[in-house]
Amino acid sequence: SDIVTRIDYRAMMAHHQLHERDATVAAVRHESEIPFGVLDSDDSGKILGIQEKPRYTHHVSAGIYLLQSSIYRLAQAGVALDMPDLLRKALEANLEVGLFPIHEYWMDLGRPDDINKAQLDANVWKDGGLRRA
C-alpha cells in the first residue's frame, strides 16, 4: 500500500451504486502554483497574454477504485494493464466512469517526506483512525 486515508468507504460505495457507474475513482483536489509569470503565445512567438503566478486546481486519482465486472472484461488474461490504461479503455467503450471526491485525510506515501508527515499525522490521531488503502 502506498497511501493512508480516512476515506469513508461506505459512502464511496453508496455513491458508486447511486450513480450506477461501471467504475468509480476516488479523487483528491490538488493545487499547484507556478511561481512565475506565465506567457501565453502563438506559434510565431507573439505574446497573447500574461498570467502572474497562476494557481491550478485539479482532481487527481487517490489510487482507490470501485470496478464492476464490465470493467474487468476489458482486460486480457496475461497482458499487463495499468489502471489509467484500463480506465481509458472503459471510456473508449463508453462505459460510465466517475469520480468520488475525498474530503477526508489522504496522503500518498511515494516520497520520504510524505512518509514522515503521515507518521506525524498518525501520532496526532491516537485513536488509530488512519486506514490503509
Per residue, what are the HEC states of the chain? CCEEECCCHHHHHHHHHHCCCCEEEEEEEEEEECCCEEEEECCCCCEEEEEECCEEEEEEEEEEEEECHHHHCCCCCCCCCCHHHHHHHHHHCCCCEEEEECCCCEEECCCHHHHHHHHHHHHHCCCCCCEEC
Model pLDDT, residue 5: 87
| pLDDT tens digits, one per residue of 5-15 | 889 999 999 99
**pLDDT of 133 over the 90 cut:** no
Beta-sheet pairing, 3-5 with 106-108: antiparallel
pTM over 0.75: yes
Model pLDDT, residue 127: 53
| CB of 65 closer than 8 Å to CB of 21 | no
| pLDDT tens digits, one per residue of 36-64 | 999 999 999 999 999 999 999 999 999 99
**pLDDT of 123 over the 70 cut:** no
| pLDDT tens digits, one per residue of 64-119 | 999 999 999 999 999 999 999 999 999 999 999 999 999 998 888 877 777 777 77
